[in-house]
């Protein structure tokens, strides 16, 4: 045997073995289709799903994980309790910033002893609240005529009282009340003779 015959024999053997490999791997179209039977082709990396079904699958998995992780936070009663405490705390703080207590009205000494007595609780003002209250009234006194400052202070106190009466209202409604107050005050400032 010479070298050309060996080369030809080797090439035939390689061709037949490579064609055998192609014949042995038989993949049907059903094997390639998405496992959700949507008509698209899936991939092994995506657990047999197409790109569309894979995204949907991932979103569902994330929802399941988030739900399991935050199950306690979804308890409505706990949420209601936290919301109510938060609303009461904010409303008391807002009113205490904008309203003088009876003891302060008598002696205009703004100290940490200022006390707001609400319908159901007693609230001591923090230094920050006292400071904000002082700045608000000082701004009104120094920058506006006395009649205008008095009208704005009166409207503000009225709005705070209305907000505090609505202790069981959700935050969206409270926000709406505050926005309504701003709108009414702006309209009064534009149209009132003492404001101009």
Asked if the model's pLDDT at residue 51 lies above 70, the reply is: yes
Measured distance CA(62)–CA(68) in Å, rounded: 10
Asked if the model's pLDDT at residue 105 lies above 50, the reply is: no
Count other C-beta atoms under 10 Å from residue 150's C-beta. 14
> Cβ-count burial of 28 within 10 angstroms (0-12 exposed, 13-18 middle, 19+ buried)?
exposed
Mean pLDDT value across residues 139-166? 84
Q: What is the pLDDT of residue 88?
A: 61
Measured distance CA(100)–CA(86) in Å, rounded: 22
* Lowest mean per-residue pLDDT among 67-76, 120-129, 142-151, 173-182: 120-129
Contact 116, 89 (CB under 8 A): no
| Cα Dmax for the chain | 126
**What pTM value is reported for the model?**
0.37
Q: State the average pLDDT for the chain.
A: 72
């Amino acid at each position: 045997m010479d070298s050309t015959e060996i080369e030809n024999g080797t090439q035939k053997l390689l061709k037949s073995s490579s064609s055998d490999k192609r014949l042995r791997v038989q993949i049907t179209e059903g094997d390639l289709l998405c496992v959700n039977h949507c008509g698209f082709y899936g991939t092994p990396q995506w657990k047999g799903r197409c790109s569309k079904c894979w995204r949907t699958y991932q979103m569902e998995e994330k929802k399941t994980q988030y739900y399991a992780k935050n199950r306690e936070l979804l308890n409505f009663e706990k949420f209601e309790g936290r919301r109510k405490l938060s609303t009461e705390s904010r409303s008391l703080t807002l009113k205490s910033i904008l309203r003088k207590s009876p003891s302060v009205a008598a002696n205009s000494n703004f100290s940490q002893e200022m006390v707001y007595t609400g319908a159901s609780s007693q609230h001591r003002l923090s230094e920050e609240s006292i400071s904000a209250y002082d700045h608000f009234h000082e701004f009104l006194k120094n920058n506006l005529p006395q009649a205008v400052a008095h009208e704005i202070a009166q409207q503000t106190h009225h709005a705070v009282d209305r907000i505090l009466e609505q202790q069981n209202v959700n935050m969206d409604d409270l926000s709406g009340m505050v926005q309504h107050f701003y709108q009414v005050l702006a309209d009064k400032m534009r149209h009132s003779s003492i404001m101009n």
